[in-house]
């Protein structure tokens, strides 16, 4: 599979989200990453279903919704109705992770599991063949603009090995500190969906930044 680029709107100007969507799409974004935070699972608060619904009206590419919230089960249907095409839930908050993944898939969209830097790969072992993608956090979730944790590279390799052993071709998504420097490394380790916030919306020309990120990622694919 080729590498998909998913600009994270968290780093965009929230007063001009429509323009951020257009800039990302002009640069060739494959997905739009939407960070939902509740002030409990992570220290920050961001957005909910109404904003996703507005984004859905203007976006041409699928919305990739990352739920950093304590009780995702309560909100799955609302996010799907709002227009999410993919939802990632965190393993850390879900004692019944398998059930939650089935519910998401039952709502007709792709289901992913996300793991924090301190969460072992073994936490997702039993759902390896049930997920549509695995989101490996390369920073501690809650804020954009943090530094990539180098250990994420070996973690991505371990997740890839786990998925392969389960006979799954689910792609690995990476999130946090992804830029032109870290992209090639993490793609080489096995990541195929790159989320990037500040590297794209912090750039002078976000459309060009999407293209640059893709070029760096593809260099990792070839090496
Ligand atoms: C962090 C979020 C990320 C964030 C990434 O908790 O899940 O999606 O937007 O931001 P950057 O790319 O700036 O590290
Ligand atoms: Zn995210």
**38 catalytically annotated:** no
Tell me if 90 sits within 8 A of 115, measured CB to CB: yes
- Measured CA to CA, the distance from residue 41 to residue 55 in angstroms comes to 24
Q: What is the pLDDT of residue 221?
A: 87
Which domains are present in the chain?
4-222 (3.20.20.70)
Predicted confidence (pLDDT) per residue in 119-176, tens digit: 999 999 999 999 999 999 999 999 999 999 999 999 999 999 999 999 999 999 999 9
Q: What is the pLDDT of residue 223?
A: 73
Tell me if 101 sits within 8 A of 128, measured CB to CB: no
Across the chain, where does the E strand assignment appear? 4-7, 32-37, 63-68, 84-90, 110-115, 133-137, 172-175, 191-196
Ligand 1 binding pocket includes 7 (Cβ within 6 Å): no
Ligand 1 binding pocket includes 37 (Cβ within 6 Å): no
Across 143-198, where does the E strand assignment appear? 172-175, 191-196
Predicted confidence (pLDDT) per residue in 26-84, tens digit: 999 999 999 999 999 999 999 999 999 999 999 999 999 999 999 999 999 999 999 99
Q: From the CA of 133, how far away is ligand 2's center (Å)? A: 14
Q: From the CA of 169, how far away is ligand 1's center (Å)? A: 25
Question: Does position 1 have pLDDT exceeding 80, yes or no?
Answer: no
Nearest ligand 1 atom, CA 179: 12
Residues comprising the chain, all counted: 223
Side-chain-facing half-sphere of 48: CA atoms under 13 Å: 10
3-state SS, residue 86: strand
Q: Which of 30, 132, 175, 179 is catalytic?
A: 175
pTM flag (> 0.95) = yes
- Measured CA to CA, the distance from residue 137 to residue 152 in angstroms comes to 8
**35 catalytically annotated:** yes
């Amino acid at each position: 599979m080729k590498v998909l680029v998913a600009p994270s709107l968290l780093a965009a100007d929230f007063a001009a989200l429509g323009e951020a969507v257009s800039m990302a799409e002009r640069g060739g974004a494959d997905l739009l990453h939407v960070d939902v935070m509740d002030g409990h699972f992570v220290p920050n608060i961001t957005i909910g279903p109404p904003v996703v619904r507005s984004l859905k009206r203007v976006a041409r590419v699928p919305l990739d919704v990352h739920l950093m919230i304590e009780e995702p089960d309560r909100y799955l249907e609302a996010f799907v109705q709002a227009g999410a095409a993919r939802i990632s839930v965190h393993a850390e908050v879900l004692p019944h992770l398998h059930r939650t993944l089935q519910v998401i898939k039952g709502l007709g969209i792709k289901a992913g599991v996300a793991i924090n830097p301190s969460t072992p790969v073994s936490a997702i072992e039993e759902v390896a063949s049930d997920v549509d993608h695995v989101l490996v956090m390369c920073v501690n979730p809650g804020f954009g603009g943090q530094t990539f944790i180098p250990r994420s590279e070996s973690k991505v390799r371990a997740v890839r090995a786990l998925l392969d052993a389960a006979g799954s071709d689910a792609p690995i998504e990476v999130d946090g500190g992804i830029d032109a420097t870290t992209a090639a490394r993490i793609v080489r380790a096995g990541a195929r969906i790159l989320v990037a916030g500040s590297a794209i919306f912090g750039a002078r020309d976000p459309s060009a930044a999407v293209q640059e990120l893709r070029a760096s990622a593809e260099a990792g694919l070839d090496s």
